[in-house]
């Protein structure tokens, strides 16, 4: 019975995802393109389709990262943006842009993604170190904010050293899907399947953690090692998304919450739905960003920041603050 | 299970010092003592959760030499606070919670086998929680939740069961049921170790270990008059023991 419910909900989310991708492919700031095999072919297949798929995949990666963060740290307010990993990833991208000369396009993609991954890893580890672990929600969130500010300042320094990169870095800081290419889509597809597969295999550890750390340990789970793997996946997913779309706020926070009521308690289901929810959220925001003031496009990060900020306010009112949330 | 010169430290403070304990196989041992005596810490050390000095062996094998998975199959542990640990979001269903007890028996993909499903059903029926199987754990009352967590403990199907305050939140009929489950488990050759505050229930155990300020106060058979004297002395003579039918009960003086 539960399996059927899962399948019907999964199908519902997948159908919604396909509808949004089709809409994203047909609609743009210059209006709708119906003649996809005629004169609109280039705009549809070379610009809008990779952009829509890219936005969806980046959202799915951020949704997965948010789902992992919230379950791993048992903290409903944890997300890649608030844990410092997103700003770390941005710093990684900024460092590569500023200091590395990457001649060919694949080297550039690997360099930017590698830099973003390392930056995200450093960001989340620094937040955990500053908070003295993950047990206090408030300390962890405040540490995340502090780390984000410090890493953000370091990023601003890059634009000071290299004024010619101001526009590129600014574009990353605002969150942008306009420059998405097929190569980025391919890379994010690989990263998403890799991250999701590993996470789903070790997700029973997250289930067991809901009974408390000690109970999970007595079930024979190597919790310390699994935690490290999950932090690595969180950094990889965030880094990969940020390297393609820049800082897209609150998708990682909101997606797991939006799907939690329909996904029940099992982490395997929650994480799959968080992925789909994140993709739907970011692609919807991208559609708003390109059509709201058409023909003028606004960066998608602004739309998610406004929507997510409002959502965070609602969540803060509902969440009891203190030691362990 | 045996301990020799077992000591546990938290930072510079000794929580337990030089314990030499013999926990008889296939019997029920109860650990009792005043608050802060180190009962839960001892149980955590037995479950391999706290680092210790000295020796702690199961059937002659040192606990620290066992792999994580082997230890999980030999020992099942019920946490004092695990019924309250769900913090946010929708919790697992009762069925999925009990299935977690089968993790030590599952492969690296953690996919439940038909044997796992049979075991979960059996333990849920044993603890009178089968009808709750579709409900989220978070929505249950304290007593219902405790029964589900007991089912999770039984689902591990280990030879040794360590239980910290297993009667917490259980109403009197289910406390009586708990005693029946204990008898049933003992008949199946299990070794039970419980930390209990309810002295009259602890006296139903075969063997008593009394701790006071991190040290062994006394250990012996629960029917032995010397054990009863030691128990009265443990609580500074503020309780007395009386026989009610076949059972001993503790009453305040």
Which domain CATH number covers B75?
A: 3.40.50.300
- What contacts B42, CB < 8 A, 6 or more positions away? B8, B16, B19, B31, B195, B211
Rg (C-alpha) for chain B, rounded Å, is 18
Task: Write down the ipTM of this complex.
Answer: 0.87
Burial A286-324 (b: 16+ CB within 10 A, else e): bbbbbbeeeeebbbbbbbbbebbeebbeeeeeeeeeeee
Most A-contacting residue of B71, B72, B103, B106 (CB-CB within 10 A), to test interface: B103
Shortest CA distance from A318: residue in chain B: B88
The CATH number assigned to the domain with range A39-318 reads 1.10.3470.10
Please indicate whether residue A318 or residue B226 has the higher confidence score (pLDDT): B226
Which pLDDT belongs to residue B211?
Answer: 93
Of residues A207, A319, A325, nearest to B100 (C-beta): A207
Most confident region among A65-74, A89-98, B111-120 by mean pLDDT? B111-120
- For residue A41, pLDDT over 60 is answered with yes
pLDDT digits (tens, 9 = 90+) for B119-177: 999 999 988 899 999 888 888 887 888 889 889 999 999 999 999 988 887 888 888 88
pTM of the model: 0.85
A279: enclosing H helix or E strand: helix A267-291
A33, A23 contact by CB (below 8 A): no
Tell me the pLDDT band of A62, cut-offs 50, 70 and 90: very high
* B97 contacts A214? CB cut-off 8 A: no
**Chain A hits for B90, Cβ within 8 Å:** 260-261, 263-265
CA of A138 to nearest chain B CA: how many angstroms apart?
Answer: 15
Q: Is A302 helix (H, G, I), strand (E, B) or coil?
A: helix
- For residue A230, pLDDT over 80 is answered with yes
* B79 contacts A215? CB cut-off 8 A: yes
pLDDT digits (tens, 9 = 90+) for A251-262: 888 899 888 878
Residue B133: inside a domain, yes or no? no
Residue B188: inside a domain, yes or no? yes
**Chain A hits for B137, Cβ within 8 Å:** 265
- For residue A310, pLDDT over 90 is answered with no
* B110 contacts A204? CB cut-off 8 A: yes
pLDDT digits (tens, 9 = 90+) for A279-302: 999 999 999 988 888 788 888 888
Which pLDDT belongs to residue A1?
Answer: 41
Round to whole Å and give the CA distance between A219 and A229. 18
Burial A246-274 (b: 16+ CB within 10 A, else e): bbbbbbbbbbbbbbbebbbbbbbbbbbbb
Which pLDDT belongs to residue B45?
Answer: 92
Rg (C-alpha) for chain A, rounded Å, is 19
The residue range of the domain holding B203 is: 2-85+158-252
pLDDT digits (tens, 9 = 90+) for B35-70: 888 999 999 999 988 888 999 999 889 998 999 889
pLDDT digits (tens, 9 = 90+) for B82-96: 544 445 556 788 999
**Chain B hits for A214, Cβ within 8 Å:** 44, 47, 49, 77, 79, 82
Shortest CA distance from B138: residue in chain A: A265
Tell me the pLDDT band of B109, cut-offs 50, 70 and 90: confident
Q: Exposed, middle or buried: residue B205 (CB in 10 Å: 0-12, 13-18, 19+)?
A: buried
Residue B55: inside a domain, yes or no? yes
* B77 contacts A207? CB cut-off 8 A: no
Q: Exposed, middle or buried: residue B148 (CB in 10 Å: 0-12, 13-18, 19+)?
A: buried
- For residue A52, pLDDT over 60 is answered with yes
Most B-contacting residue of A138, A199, A210 (CB-CB within 10 A), to test interface: A210
A222 interfaces chain B, CB cutoff of 8 Å: yes
Most B-contacting residue of A66, A205, A214, A264 (CB-CB within 10 A), to test interface: A214
- For residue A102, pLDDT over 70 is answered with no
The torsion of the CA quartet A275, A277, A283, A287, rounded to 10 degrees, works out to 180
Please choose, from the candidates B178, B180, B182, B184, the residue with its C-alpha nearest in 3D space to the C-alpha of residue B193: B182
User: For A93-99, what is the mean pLDDT?
Assistant: 81
B73, B158 contact by CB (below 8 A): yes
- What contacts A133, CB < 8 A, 6 or more positions away? none
Domain count of the fold of chain B:
1
Please indicate whether residue A2 or residue A320 has the higher confidence score (pLDDT): A320
* A266 contacts B108? CB cut-off 8 A: no
Round to whole Å and give the CA distance between B219 and B210. 6
Which pLDDT belongs to residue A2?
Answer: 47
A279, A288 contact by CB (below 8 A): no
Strand (E) positions, B11-139?
13-22, 28-32, 53-58, 61-62, 75-78
Mean confidence (pLDDT) of chain A: 83
Round to whole Å and give the CA distance between A66 and A83. 10
Which pLDDT belongs to residue A99?
Answer: 77
Phi, psi of A142 (to 5 degrees): -65, -40
* B91 contacts A260? CB cut-off 8 A: no
A232 interfaces chain B, CB cutoff of 8 Å: no
Domain limits of chain A?
39-318
pLDDT digits (tens, 9 = 90+) for B227-238: 999 999 998 888
- For residue A322, pLDDT over 50 is answered with no
Window A:292-321, CB contacts with B under 8 Å: 319
């Amino acid at each position: 019975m539960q399996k059927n419910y899962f399948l019907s909900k999964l199908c519902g989310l997948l159908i919604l995802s396909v509808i949004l991708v089709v809409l994203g492919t047909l609609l743009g700031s210059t209006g709708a393109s119906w003649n996809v095999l005629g004169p609109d072919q280039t705009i549809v297949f070379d610009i809008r389709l990779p952009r829509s798929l890219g936005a969806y995949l980046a959202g799915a990666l951020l949704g997965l990262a948010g789902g992992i963060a919230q379950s791993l740290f048992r903290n409903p307010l944890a997300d890649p943006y608030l844990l410092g990993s997103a700003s770390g990833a941005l710093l990684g991208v900024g460092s590569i842009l500023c200091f590395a000369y990457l001649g060919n396009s694949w080297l550039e993609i690997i360099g930017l993604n590698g830099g973003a991954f390392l930056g995200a890893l450093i960001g989340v580890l620094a937040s955990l170190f500053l908070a003295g672990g993950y047990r206090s929600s408030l300390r962890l969130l405040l540490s995340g904010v502090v780390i984000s500010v410090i890493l953000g300042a370091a990023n601003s320094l890059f634009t000071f050293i290299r004024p010619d990169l101001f526009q590129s870095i600014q574009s990353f800081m605002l969150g942008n899907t306009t420059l998405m290419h097929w190569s980025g889509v391919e890379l994010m597809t690989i990263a998403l399947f890799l991250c999701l597969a590993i996470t789903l295999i070790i997700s029973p550890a997250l289930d067991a953690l809901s009974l408390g750390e000690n109970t999970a340990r007595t079930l024979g789970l190597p919790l310390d090692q699994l935690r490290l793997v999950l932090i690595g996946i969180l950094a990889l997913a965030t880094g990969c998304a940020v390297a393609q779309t820049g800082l897209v706020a609150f998708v990682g926070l909101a997606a797991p919450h939006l799907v939690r009521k329909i996904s029940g308690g099992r982490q395997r289901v929650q994480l799959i739905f968080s992925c789909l929810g994140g993709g739907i959220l970011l692609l919807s925001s991208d559609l708003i960003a390109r059509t709201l003031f058409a023909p003028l496009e606004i960066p998608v990060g602004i739309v998610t920041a406004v929507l997510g900020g409002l959502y965070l306010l609602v969540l803060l009112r509902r969440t009891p603050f203190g030691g362990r949330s | 299970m045996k301990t020799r010169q077992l000591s546990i430290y938290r930072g510079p403070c000794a929580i337990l010092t030089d314990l030499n304990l013999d926990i008889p196989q296939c019997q029920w041992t109860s650990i009792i003592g005043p608050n802060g005596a180190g009962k839960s810490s001892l149980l955590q050390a037995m479950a391999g959760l706290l680092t210790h000095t000295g020796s702690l062996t199961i059937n002659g094998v040192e606990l620290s030499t066992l792999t994580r998975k082997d230890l999980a199959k030999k020992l099942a542990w019920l946490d004092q606070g695990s019924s309250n640990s769900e913090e946010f979001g929708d919790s697992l269903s009762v069925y999925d919670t009990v299935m977690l007890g089968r993790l030590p028996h599952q492969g690296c993909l953690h996919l439940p086998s038909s044997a796992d499903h049979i075991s979960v059903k059996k333990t849920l029926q044993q603890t009178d929680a089968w009808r709750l199987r579709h409900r989220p754990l978070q929505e249950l009352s304290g007593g219902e939740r405790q029964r589900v967590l007991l089912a999770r403990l039984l689902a591990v199907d280990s030879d040794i069961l360590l239980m910290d305050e297993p009667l917490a939140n259980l109403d009197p009929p289910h406390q009586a049921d708990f005693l029946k489950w204990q008898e049933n488990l003992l008949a199946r050759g299990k070794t039970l170790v419980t930390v209990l505050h309810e002295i009259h229930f602890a006296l139903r155990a075969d063997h008593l270990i009394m701790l006071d300020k991190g040290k062994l106060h006394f250990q012996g058979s629960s029917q032995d008059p010397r054990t009863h004297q030691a128990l009265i002395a443990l609580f500074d003579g503020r309780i007395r023991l009386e026989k009610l039918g076949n059972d001993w009960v503790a009453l305040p003086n």
